[in-house]
Amino acid sequence: MGKLTAKQIENLTTPGTYEDGDGLRLLIKPNGKKYWVLRFQLSGKRREMGLGTYPAIGLKEARQNSSDKRRLLRDGIDPLQARDDERAAQVTAELQRKNKAITFRDVSADYIEAHRAGWKNVKHAQQWTNTLATYAAPVIGELATNQITTEHVLDILKPIWSSKAETASRVRNRIELVLDAAKARGLRDGENPARWRGHLDKLLPPSSKAKRTQNHPALPYSELARFMPALESVEGQSAYALKMAILTACRTSEVLEADWSEVDLKTKLWTIPAVRMKAGKIHTVPLSDALIALLETIPRIKGSSLLFPGARKGRPISNMAMLMTLRRMDQKDLKDGGKGWRDSNDKVITAHGFRSTFRDWAAECTPHAREVCEMALAHVVASGAEAAYWRSDLLEKRRVLMADWADFVTRNVNGSAII
């Protein structure tokens, strides 16, 4: 049988193989489907390569494809391997195209959403979003993750590495985690440009040396006798919350998210669940008489179990509420001829700073043991082997400490009770 013709191919229906010459053949299957096949020999082995189906591939195109493959054979190239390489290159190009469309901003948003449920603090996701949006996004937000280099990371970190060391360290760590996630998704490979050990540690000074700890502005304990009457004159939830934060020496988030179900007035205990504690451990707070009196005056809001419910259902008042109260108090005191509510550096005090006020008072004015004071602040008081043998939470000793603190806080210069 000689060369095939277009008319002949169209009319062929009998299953079998029909040669066109130079290894090109038409294969008709029992189901009537027609396939183009190129038969060739390479390195002493007979091989077959599909060239497509008829009529999608006509006779003219099949012959051209066959001629192209035989040209590769003359150059010692396996046409099957060449086809596989071309397909792989196309897949790679398509992946690269898609990866370029997936930016650092996209991957970081996916990372935050994926980990949101696992973060014990509901504000953690917002902190991630804010820091990356503020520091990383202007430099790498619109870049594909495989385009991000060490120089990009340095451009982000250098301006804040010394002036905002703690923030810079967190930004670096968050960039590293996002880029690790991108690598796990196949969006980048190679060295993580935000990795510290063995990489950025050769280009930046250690965070501990760059860091300049900035403590929360705190009121000297000697000023409490003047401060508490001023606070007593302030109305609203933020004032109640601030009083509770002072009397308990707890963190602002622990106070703001307090739930009535955690408070037991009979046992005089406030039990904060582990999920809301920085150390991830349950913390029991002894309730002084002054604190119980305060709790009894806090109005209960219908439909909410929170002590300090905010405008959004199920959420407390803003963490800025207490700070804004302190700023207004500061301005009022200055207007009234006072010196304001400032620390030794003339900075307006913060709610968190009252933990330092409490600790300074306990160390300088009381005989209470260090361990008792640190445990009242929910700090870790032991490590290693010592921690393994530490079983007590020193509750009864902390009751005495917090009662002494409440007595100090709630009495003015003349010794009369304020709360």
pLDDT at position 95 is 61
Preceding peptide of 55 cis, ω within 30°: yes
| Residues 86, 73 contacting (CB under 8 angstroms) | no
pLDDT (0 to 100) of residue 262:
95
Q: Quote the DSSP letter at residue 307.
A: S
**Is the Cβ–Cβ distance between 161 and 204 less than 8 Å?**
yes
- Report pLDDT for 96: 60
Amino acid found at 318: S
What pLDDT sits at residue 392?
66
Taking only the tens place, the pLDDT of each residue in 230-273 is: 999 999 999 999 999 999 999 999 999 999 999 999 999 999 99
The mean pLDDT of 7-29, rounded to a whole number, is 89
- Output the pLDDT for position 412: 57
Q: Average pLDDT for residues 165-179, to the nearest whole number?
A: 92
Residue 417 DSSP code = B
Beta strands in 307-406 (DSSP E): none
Q: Are 248 and 406 in contact (CB under 8 A)?
A: no
Cα separation of 108 and 121, whole Å?
18
User: What is the separation, in whole angstroms, between the first and last Cα of the chain?
Assistant: 112
Order across the sheet with 283-286: list the strands.
263-264, 269-272, 283-286
Question: Distance (Å, rounded) from C-alpha 362 to C-alpha 201?
Answer: 40
How does pLDDT run across 94-131, given as a tens digit for each residue?
666 655 578 999 999 999 999 988 886 767 888 898 88
Q: 208 pLDDT band (50/70/90 cuts)?
A: low
Q: Is the pLDDT at 387 greater than 60, yes or no?
A: no
Q: How does residue 383 score in pLDDT terms, banded at 50, 70 and 90? A: very low
Distances (CA, A) of 251 to 170, 177, 287, 356, 418: 21, 28, 16, 11, 23
Residue 128: how many other CB atoms lie within 10 Å: 22
